[in-house]
Amino acid sequence: MDDALPRVHAMPNDLNAFWMPFTSNRQFKSAPRFVVGAKGMYYTAADGRQILDSTAGLWCVNAGHCAPRIVEAIRRQAGELDYSPAFQMGHPRAFDLASRLAGLMPGNLDHVFFVNSGSESVDTALKIALAYHHVRGEGQRTRLVGREKGYHGVGFGGISVGGIVNNRKFFGTLLTGVDHLPHTHNLEHQAFSRGQPEWGAHLADDLERICALHDPSTIAAVIVEPFAGSAGVLLPPKGYLEKLRAICDQHGILLIFDEVITGFGRLGAPFAVDYFGVQPDLVTTAKGITNGAIPMGAVFARDDIYQTFMDSAADGAIELFHGYTYSAHPLACAAAHAALDTYLEDGLFERAAEMAPYWEDALHSLKGTRHVIDIRNLGMVGAVELEPRPGAPGKRTFEAFLKLYDAGIMSRVTGDIIALTPPLIIDRSQIDQIVDSIRDVLPTVD
């Protein structure tokens, strides 16, 4: 069969059994939207329509769908070594991959712990931070600091440091000893900023308040997304991340960047660490590490953090009691190698940086369109915020999402924000198509 042609799929007779994640199950099942194939910038819908992917899957398909080197690498690996344990055993591609990744990451973030998702990446980084202080004799550093509106996945660690109310309020008491910085989003001071907003660096000073309240010697780590993705593309004000870094340094607190969305080119640089020039102590990644083709994540740790663990345990003893059955899964490692080959050989990070000014201008041309109260952008990320419908937050934007889908655009909405994060292979005419479709659709939504 020709790989370029999606196979014919019979549609399911029964939609009941699959409990869909983060979905209005009843809405979807009353009017399902099925995709049956994907290639490059497009999905193929069940009715044969080509749908332009303006969100790179869920922020993960940075090189476009079914990138040939990745497809081939997974096929080959599946027939060669389908699985091997990563506990007390190894396979060569995992070590090669860790070295390659460490080489791509700036500074001394030289060690890589493999996981299978962003949520696992976050919980792993939080556990490394706590255990690091423990093994170096500062076991009283048990507190964690996150941020309002932060998204760090759905594990108990991630929702505890995260700040999205609906992701927390149903799930009991969560981790104890967690504080939250204020979020940095403020339309009064920041609306229609291009790139990083000028206003808001002072919000990082709240970390000093938290330090004063608990005494800094009780705080293990601060975790933030370099920009908040899931909450609707909330950008760090100029100087904000630098301030967080300085306060953490002053008090011996580890700084964790959650780069699950920003890693692998989203900002036109390999990582947000490169883009912002601020060096954290631990970095969490997932999604783009395999271009979304196989689940994988990776935590990057500073060299001396890793060495502290190595020096702490007796000869022959396990240094960190943590890991997953599928850590460094051979298929994921093969996919990640091929994703890196694709990003680097095709120059996709540079391409994203070159395309970003065109992207910015196109998005900001939507100013003045019905309902639009803010437009934000950074690298190849954008957001269009709509005025909420009175008494029905999110409804107007969800209707826009449905109409955009009918118009052949896959978008992503969160609250009253349309988030746009296309594959980095997008061209100018496809950017125009996304922006023109939004311009056409919004006036038709009440």
Size of the site for ligand PXG (CB under 6 A): 18
Please tell me the chain's helix, strand, coil percentages from 3-state DSSP, rounded to the nearest 5.
40, 15, 45
What SS3 class is residue 420?
strand
Kindly identify the residues of this chain, within the stretch 246-275, that bind ligand PXG according to CB under 6 A: 258, 260-261
- Of 115, 234, 278, 286, the residue at the interface with ligand PXG (CB under 6 A) is 286
Distance (Å, whole) CA 126 – CA 357: 36
Q: Which runs of consecutive H residues, i.e. helices, occur in 136-218?
A: 156-161, 165-168, 187-190, 206-214
- The answer to whether residue 44 forms part of the interface with ligand PXG (CB under 6 A) is no
Query: Which residue's structure tokens are 């007390």?
Result: 88
- The answer to whether residue 289 forms part of the interface with ligand PXG (CB under 6 A) is no
Closer residue to ligand PXG, CB minimum distance, 211 or 272: 272
- To the nearest whole angstrom, how small is the minimum distance from the Cβ of residue 22 to ligand PXG? 7
Q: What does the block give as tokens for 235? A: 């950008």
Q: Which runs of consecutive H residues, i.e. helices, occur in 42-117?
A: 56-59, 68-80, 92-104
Distance (Å, whole) CA 23 – CA 29: 10
| Counts for the chain of helices (H) and strands (E), in that order | 16, 15
Q: What does the block give as tokens for 441? A: 């659709």
Closer residue to ligand PXG, CB minimum distance, 235 or 261: 261
- The CB density around residue 316, as the number of other CB atoms within 10 Å, is 5
- The answer to whether residue 58 forms part of the interface with ligand PXG (CB under 6 A) is yes
- Of 118, 163, 226, 270, the residue at the interface with ligand PXG (CB under 6 A) is 118
What SS3 class is residue 348?
helix
- To the nearest whole angstrom, how small is the minimum distance from the Cβ of residue 240 to ligand PXG? 17
Is residue 44 a contact partner of residue 7, using CB atoms and an 8 Å limit? no
- The answer to whether residue 127 forms part of the interface with ligand PXG (CB under 6 A) is no
- The answer to whether residue 337 forms part of the interface with ligand PXG (CB under 6 A) is no
Closer residue to ligand PXG, CB minimum distance, 342 or 414: 414
Question: Ramachandran region of residue 249, left (φ > 0), alpha (ψ -120 to 50) or beta?
Answer: alpha
- The answer to whether residue 54 forms part of the interface with ligand PXG (CB under 6 A) is no
Closer residue to ligand PXG, CB minimum distance, 256 or 431: 256
Looking only at the bridges linking them, the beta strands covering 35-39 and 111-115 are unpaired
Closer residue to ligand PXG, CB minimum distance, 59 or 276: 59
- The answer to whether residue 160 forms part of the interface with ligand PXG (CB under 6 A) is no
- The answer to whether residue 151 forms part of the interface with ligand PXG (CB under 6 A) is yes
Query: What would the x/- binding string for ligand PXG be over residues 217 to 236, using CB under 6 A?
Result: --------x---xx------
Q: In what order do the strands lie in the sheet with 372-378?
A: 372-378, 381-386, 417-420, 412-414
- The answer to whether residue 342 forms part of the interface with ligand PXG (CB under 6 A) is no
Helix crossing, 206-214 with 240-251: angle to 10°? 20
Closer residue to ligand PXG, CB minimum distance, 211 or 282: 282
Closer residue to ligand PXG, CB minimum distance, 115 or 210: 115
Distance (Å, whole) CA 101 – CA 77: 19
- To the nearest whole angstrom, how small is the minimum distance from the Cβ of residue 314 to ligand PXG? 34
- To the nearest whole angstrom, how small is the minimum distance from the Cβ of residue 295 to ligand PXG? 7
Closer residue to ligand PXG, CB minimum distance, 371 or 412: 412
- The answer to whether residue 397 forms part of the interface with ligand PXG (CB under 6 A) is no
Nearest to 419 by CA among 288, 275, 266: 266
- The answer to whether residue 122 forms part of the interface with ligand PXG (CB under 6 A) is yes
Closer residue to ligand PXG, CB minimum distance, 211 or 261: 261
What SS3 class is residue 342?
helix
Distance (Å, whole) CA 262 – CA 60: 10
Closer residue to ligand PXG, CB minimum distance, 234 or 363: 234
Helix crossing, 92-104 with 330-345: angle to 10°? 40
- To the nearest whole angstrom, how small is the minimum distance from the Cβ of residue 235 to ligand PXG? 14
Is residue 43 a contact partner of residue 51, using CB atoms and an 8 Å limit? yes
- Of 77, 397, 414, 433, the residue at the interface with ligand PXG (CB under 6 A) is 414
* Stretch of 106-114, 116-124, 372-380, 389-397 lying at the interface with ligand PXG (CB under 6 A): 116-124
Q: Footprint of ligand PXG on this chain (CB under 6 A)? A: 58-59, 117-119, 122, 151-153, 225, 229-230, 258, 260-261, 286, 412, 414
